C-alpha cells in the first residue's frame, strides 16, 4: 500500500486520482447503458466504530420518540426486528401492535428451540452486557441529581459520604437485576422461561397409590393415584418510568444503568409482594393464599399478638414433609430478624433480659452480623407485611420457612416497550414517559413444602 501511495506527491494529487477514477467508472456505466451509482469509497453513515457498542434501553426510547435517527440506534432496531420475527413464529402479538418496541429482558428466557433462536439468544446476551465496563459512578451521581434535583450532592469515594447510595454497579440484563432484588429469587426459587404463548403446565401427583399386605391367594385391593397440575399463565406487570429528556439526548452507560436499575427495582418489589400475598386473577396468586401451605402457631400466644420463641424454629421445620430434607430459606422482615437475634434470657430477675442470647447463644461482640437461623439462610425483606391484625394490634408480622426450589417463577424473555412525550406534565417538564410490560407468573410445585407463622409481635 505504501509503495502505491508514493506516486502521489500531495493530497491534491490523491484527490485528483480518486475523482478521475470515479468519473471513469461513471462514463463506463453510461456507455454500457446500465444504472449509474456514484459512491465515495470507504464511507459509512451513522456512528463510526460503534456497531458493537452494545444494547441501550435509552436509545430504544430515544429512537421511538424521534430524538435519534435509525443510524444512531442500529443495534436496538436490529434486535427489535429480530425479536418480533422470532416471537411472531410462535403466535406472539404485542399489546400495542406496531407501536410497541420489543426490549430483551433476559437472553436466558428467549425461546431458543431452534438454531435461529439459539443464535439470537447468544447475540442478545453479548449486546446487553457490552457496556458494563464503561460505567462511571461520578456520572451516575450527576444524572441522579438531574432526575431528582432536591437530592443532596454526595460523594461516591466513601460509603460514609454517600457511596452506598450509588446503586448501579453494572449494566446487566434487566431480569438479572430484577432477580437480584427479589426475595424469592434470593431464597432459591426456580426460574423458567415462559413460552411465547404465555402458558405452561407442570403435571404432578396429588395423591399416591396404596400398598397392602395380602395373604396367599388373596386379591390386592385396588388403589388409584390422583393427579393435578401447576398452571402458569402470563400475568401482565406494567412498569412506568418518567425520564428527563436530557438522558435520551445525551445517553450514556451511567444513564442506562439508572433506568435499568429503576425499572428492575419497581418490577422486583411488585412481583415479590404478589408472590407472597397476591390474590390471583390479574396478578400472581400468592404463596400464603394456597390452602396446602402449612401453618404454625407461635409457642407464646397472647390476645394482641404472639411471640416467636427458639423452640418454634424446630417445630416449624418439623411440619415440612419428609421429601424436604432441609429447607433452603426463611423469609422475614429485617426488624423482626434483628429483634429475635437480640432477644436475651433473664439473668438475675424476671424481665431483665441480661442473660445469653436465645437464638444465637454463642454470639460475641466480635462476630459478624448473623445471616442464618440455625443453619438455614435468612432472606430479609420489607415485602413481608407488618400490618397483620390480632385483637387490638394491627402492626404484627409473619415468618415463612420453606424449600424454595419448589416455588417456580416463569417469565417472558422480552418487555413490550412504549415511549411517549405527550401529556401536559411531560410537555411542561420536558420529560418522556416510558412504559414497559413484562409477562410473569409463579406458583408452588408443592405447596406443602412451605410453612408460615402468622400474627407475630416484632420484638
Q: What is the pLDDT of residues 206-250, one digit of tens each?
A: 777 888 898 888 888 888 888 888 899 999 998 888 888 777 776
Q: How far apart are CA 455 and CA 459, in angstroms?
A: 12
Across-strand partners of 332? 380
Q: How far apart are CA 379 and CA 180, in angstroms?
A: 12
Burial level of 227, CB count in 10 A (0-12/13-18/19+)? Answer: exposed
Instruction: Identify the pLDDT of residue 178.
Output: 76
Asked if residue 276 lies in contact with residue 450, where contact means CB atoms within 8 angstroms, the answer is no
- Entry pTM: 0.70
Helix (H) or strand (E) holding 128: helix 115-128
Asked if residue 128 lies in contact with residue 120, where contact means CB atoms within 8 angstroms, the answer is no
Please give the domain boundaries of the chain with CATH numbers for all domains.
57-199+230-271 (no CATH), 287-408+446-456 (3.30.2320.10)
Q: Which is it for strands 431-444 and 414-420: parallel, antiparallel or unpaired?
A: antiparallel
Burial level of 338, CB count in 10 A (0-12/13-18/19+)? Answer: middle
Residue 424 pLDDT class (50, 70, 90 cuts): confident
Q: Quick: pLDDT tens for 84-118.
A: 888 888 777 776 666 678 888 777 778 877 788 88
Q: How far apart are CA 298 and CA 36, in angstroms?
A: 87
Nearest to 282 by CA among 446, 103, 440, 97: 440
Higher-pLDDT residue of 44 and 222 is: 222
Helices and strands of the chain, counted as H and E runs: 13, 15
As a whole number, mean pLDDT of residues 286-300 equals 95
Instruction: Identify the pLDDT of residue 235.
Output: 92
Across-strand partners of 241? 434
Residue 254 in grid coordinates: 451511567
Asked if residue 170 lies in contact with residue 133, where contact means CB atoms within 8 angstroms, the answer is no
Residue 307 pLDDT class (50, 70, 90 cuts): very high
As a whole number, mean pLDDT of residues 172-187 equals 78
Q: Which is it for strands 372-373 and 376-380: parallel, antiparallel or unpaired?
A: antiparallel
Helical residues (DSSP H) of 148-252, grouped into ranges = 174-181, 183-186, 245-249
SS3 230: strand
Q: How far apart are CA 122 and CA 109, in angstroms?
A: 11
Residues 6 or more apart whose Cβ sits within 8 Å of residue 263:
57, 174, 239, 241, 434, 436
Residue 351 pLDDT exceeds 80: no
Q: How far apart are CA 109 and CA 125, in angstroms?
A: 11
Give the CA-trace dihedral at 301, 304, 308, 312, to 10 degrees: 40
Asked if residue 252 lies in contact with residue 62, where contact means CB atoms within 8 angstroms, the answer is no
Q: Quick: pLDDT tens for 131-152.
A: 555 555 555 555 555 554 444 4
Burial level of 210, CB count in 10 A (0-12/13-18/19+)? Answer: exposed
Residue 135 in grid coordinates: 460505567
- CA distance from start to end of the chain: 80
Residue 289 pLDDT exceeds 90: yes
Q: How far apart are CA 143 and CA 246, in angstroms?
A: 9
Q: How far apart are CA 401 and CA 327, in angstroms?
A: 7
Asked if residue 441 lies in contact with residue 233, where contact means CB atoms within 8 angstroms, the answer is yes
Residues 6 or more apart whose Cβ sits within 8 Å of residue 48:
none
SS3 166: coil
Amino acid at each position: 500500500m505504501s509503495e502505491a501511495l508514493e506516486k502521489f506527491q500531495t493530497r491534491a494529487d490523491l484527490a485528483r486520482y480518486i475523482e478521475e477514477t470515479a468519473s471513469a467508472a461513471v462514463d463506463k456505466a453510461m456507455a454500457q447503458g446500465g444504472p449509474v451509482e456514484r459512491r465515495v469509497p470507504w464511507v459509512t453513515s451513522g456512528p463510526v466504530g460503534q456497531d458493537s457498542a452494545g444494547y441501550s434501553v435509552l436509545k430504544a426510547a430515544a429512537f421511538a420518540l424521534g430524538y435519534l435517527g435509525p443510524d444512531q440506534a442500529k443495534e436496538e432496531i436490529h434486535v427489535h426486528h429480530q425479536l418480533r420475527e422470532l416471537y411472531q413464529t410462535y403466535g406472539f402479538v404485542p399489546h400495542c401492535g406496531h407501536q410497541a418496541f420489543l426490549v430483551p429482558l433476559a437472553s436466558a428466557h428467549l425461546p431458543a428451540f431452534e438454531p435461529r433462536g439459539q443464535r439470537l439468544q447468544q447475540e442478545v446476551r453479548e449486546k446487553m452486557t457490552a457496556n458494563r465496563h464503561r460505567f462511571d459512578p461520578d456520572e451516575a451521581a450527576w444524572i441522579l441529581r438531574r432526575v431528582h434535583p432536591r437530592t443532596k450532592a454526595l460523594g461516591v469515594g466513601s460509603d460514609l459520604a454517600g457511596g452506598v447510595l450509588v446503586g448501579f454497579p453494572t449494566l446487566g440484563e434487566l431480569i438479572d437485576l430484577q432477580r437480584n432484588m427479589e426475595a424469592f429469587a434470593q431464597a432459591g426459587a426456580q426460574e423458567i422461561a415462559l413460552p411465547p404463548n404465555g402458558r405452561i403446565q407442570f403435571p404432578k401427583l396429588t395423591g399416591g397409590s396404596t400398598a397392602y399386605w395380602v395373604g396367599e391367594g388373596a386379591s390386592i385391593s385396588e388403589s388409584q393415584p390422583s393427579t393435578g397440575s401447576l398452571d402458569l399463565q402470563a400475568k401482565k406487570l406494567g412498569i412506568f418510568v418518567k425520564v428527563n429528556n436530557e438522558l435520551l439526548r445525551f445517553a450514556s452507560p451511567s444513564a442506562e444503568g439508572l433506568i435499568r436499575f429503576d425499572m428492575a427495582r419497581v418490577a422486583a418489589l411488585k412481583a415479590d409482594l404478589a408472590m407472597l400475598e397476591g390474590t390471583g386473577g390479574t396478578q400472581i396468586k400468592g404463596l400464603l393464599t394456597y390452602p396446602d401451605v402449612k401453618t404454625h402457631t407461635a409457642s407464646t400466644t397472647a390476645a394482641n399478638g404472639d411471640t416467636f420463641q427458639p423452640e418454634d424454629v424446630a417445630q416449624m421445620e418439623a411440619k415440612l414433609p419428609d421429601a424436604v430434607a432441609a429447607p433452603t430459606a426463611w423469609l422475614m422482615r429485617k426488624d423482626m430478624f434483628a429483634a429475635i437475634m437480640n432477644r436475651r434470657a433473664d439473668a438475675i430477675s424476671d424481665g431483665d433480659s441480661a442473660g445469653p442470647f436465645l437464638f444465637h447463644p454463642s454470639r460475641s461482640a466480635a462476630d459478624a452480623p448473623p445471616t442464618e437461623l440455625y443453619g438455614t439462610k435468612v432472606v430479609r425483606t420489607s415485602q413481608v407485611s407488618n400490618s397483620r391484625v390480632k385483637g387490638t394490634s394491627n402492626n404484627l408480622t409473619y415468618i415463612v420457612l420453606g424449600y424454595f426450589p419448589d416455588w417456580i417463577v416463569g417469565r417472558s424473555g422480552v418487555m413490550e416497550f412504549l415511549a411517549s412525550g405527550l401529556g401536559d406534565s411531560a410537555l411542561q417538564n420536558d420529560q418522556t414517559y416510558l412504559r414497559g410490560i413484562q409477562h410473569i407468573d409463579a406458583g408452588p410445585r408443592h405447596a406443602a413444602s412451605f410453612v408460615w407463622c402468622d400474627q407475630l409481635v416484632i420484638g
